Structure 1
């Protein structure tokens, strides 16, 4: 576990932050290539990417705060303030799904404002999101957060003393749920790249991403450790959100196929 790579004065350069920065740069390169293939407005999509990054940070932080209100009681100024009580600079406590929801909302509003083709744009961004998730979860593993439940499997991971995992779970072997999620995301990325070379209706790739990401998150979360306030009946809050993503993705795929069938009927 290497949560902190080095410091420059009060600025902490973390492994998690480095992975997110890497994901952004690689994602921007990939998205730019896909946008060119689709003959879209490259500058508009680049601006969209920057907006998505900002909204993803805000959304992931907001969901963390809303699900950990007691942690900020009496010190609300640190909910979004990047300067922490120990003098370090950075935000500690982010939830991926909150960032994803924030990014989707911002992306949809921007695409509508700029009158970009919604589903063609979403298809161009989907592979980069999957790859970004893969990098991000590796960052989680190096940071020691988003850890799993105790297990006695050969690949169980024992985090060092002082890590978030040992603080909650003690000195035991845990499911490396971060790596499960990263592997899932890489498989989704590979499938989306394969789909990109096929002739498919606009929206199919984006819908597929939502379905597969929702399924992966729903599945992995059975092996992940969560605090009690994250539970909603027999499931966890993130699993409930995952079900919504799956249903939304299936609806997008169905609508895209319906539109494609209607076009084929007109031209035939």
Structure 2
């Protein structure tokens, strides 16, 4: 008999796998070296020369073909940004430039959304340049800023609070490796969209109807990037299509920190100051005072004990408040326990909504109905998906994640929007909704 209580051996949470599990995650596709054959590619190397040469040749061709300089001024901001990135690359990525699956699929999502929007916009009297300007400068950049800012705020205590400020700032800019929240992107992109509609004197509802299917199509592709990156993961799953993730992935790290790889599951108590056992059932609700001999007051402190034990391949001891000590077997798992592929669920959900909105667009009788359909159906799907996702914590004691709370807010806003749209006479703005030969997108006059 131990002086602190009887020793208990804990079995693993799940039975041996009955099905062949899908494995997932390949966050880095390949890496571009800083030099090739002794020739530097980044910094002041070959890529910068190629960029400046390409822009210069385009400028000469454009001047001869059109004789105007207005379009050339528009090249300066993106060219300057690209040149700055190339110059800073050797300092930011001394081991080479990693090409992440998340970033590649993010670019693919933007490309697909642009093609869809341009295709439909041309039939409505809007030129491709206007759509490109809207997508890249007024939607994409504000959307990325909003999505990343939302992520940083939501996970500040977990991921950033303990970092030195320089490291925290640097990590906050690494959005191509994941960490973008859809609702944050929606907020940022909405602000940019409203500014664009006001600037170019375009009806916001008619324009929103036009681009809504593209947003959902892009989201469907982006969620595949989430699967490759391992973010936005679901809870435990024993279904045949469950997926597992490798070490260092978010699901693996979460399960390791909670003790699931060692056969238990710890959770933060309702007081927010202590840990309790969720599994196994015979000890459910008991407080945990120490993990691996180290006193713990939070899940963050407990995670260190589990990680140390896993790395050393040794058992773990949990000291409980009532005096018992639970001895957990050493974990031999080399991948996470099976979880719901919520990223794929999200992809299917977004793809079906994109198809529905694309089909609905030519059938609508009022501007705003396509947008409101999206704002009604997407929050419902997101709310349900959040019920099996475990990567977001309870928000302000509501018992729901922050995304579920925002889903309810969006549904309320959509209900108000439907009331406004349906109480107005049925009408479509002819400049966008019914097509027009006139050029759309003239900037509004500004005060002198």
Mark yes or no: TM-score above 0.5: yes
Task: Render the CA deviation track for 1:140-195: whole Å, top value 9, x for unaligned.
Answer: 00111110001212221122233211111243110111111110001101111110
What is the CA-CA distance between 1:54 and the residue it aligns to? 0.6
Give the Cα–Cα distance (whole angstroms) in 1 for the partners of residues 210 and 175 of structure 2: 34
Equivalent pair of 1:82/1:91 in contact (CA under 8 Å): no
- Taking the aligned partners of 1:182 and 1:19, their CA distance within structure 2 comes to 12
CA distance in 1, matches of 2:32, 2:172: 14
Of 29, 33, 54, 1:5 maps to 29
Q: 2:190 aligns with which of 77, 99, 104?
A: 104
The residue aligned with 2:401 is 236
Shift of residue 90, structure 1, vs aligned partner: 4.9
Change (3 A) 1:233 1:199: closer
Moved more, 51-60 or 91-100: 91-100
CA deviation map 1:178-223 (0-9, x unaligned): 1111100011011111102314211000111111111111110000
CA distance in 1, matches of 2:172, 2:382: 31
- Trace 1:44-63 onto structure 2 (pairs within 5 A): 44-50=130-136, 51-63=138-150
204, 213, 224: which one aligns with 1:118: 204
Matches within 5 A, 1:1-268: 1-9=25-33, 10=93, 11-50=97-136, 51-70=138-157, 71-73=159-161, 74-81=163-170, 90=176, 92-169=178-255, 170=261, 171-228=336-393, 230=395, 232-261=397-426
More strand by share: 2
CA 1:72–1:108: 2 relative to 1, 3 Å? same
Change (3 A) 1:251 1:41: farther
- Residues 77-128 of structure 1 deviation map (CA, whole Å, 9 limit, x = unaligned): 34553698xxx89555222211121111111122112211111110111001
CA contact (8 A) 2:366 2:427 kept: no
- Following TM superposition, the consecutive aligned residue runs of length 4 or more in structure 1 with deviations greater than 4 angstroms are 88-92, 229-232
Q: TM-score, normalised by structure 2?
A: 0.54
* Separation in structure 1 between the aligned mates of residue 112 and residue 202 of structure 2, nearest angstrom: 23
Q: RMSD across aligned C-alpha pairs, in angstroms?
A: 2.3
Report the number of matched residues.
260
CA contact (8 A) 2:103 2:177 kept: no
Deviates more, 1:118-127 or 1:195-204: 195-204
Using the TM superposition, name which of 112-121 and 41-50 deviates more. 41-50
How much does 1:48 deviate?
1.1
SS in 2 for 1:235: coil
Larger Rg: 2
> 2 CA distance for matches of 1:254 and 1:244?
16
Counterpart for residue 266 of structure 1: none
- Shift, 1:6, TM fit: 1.1
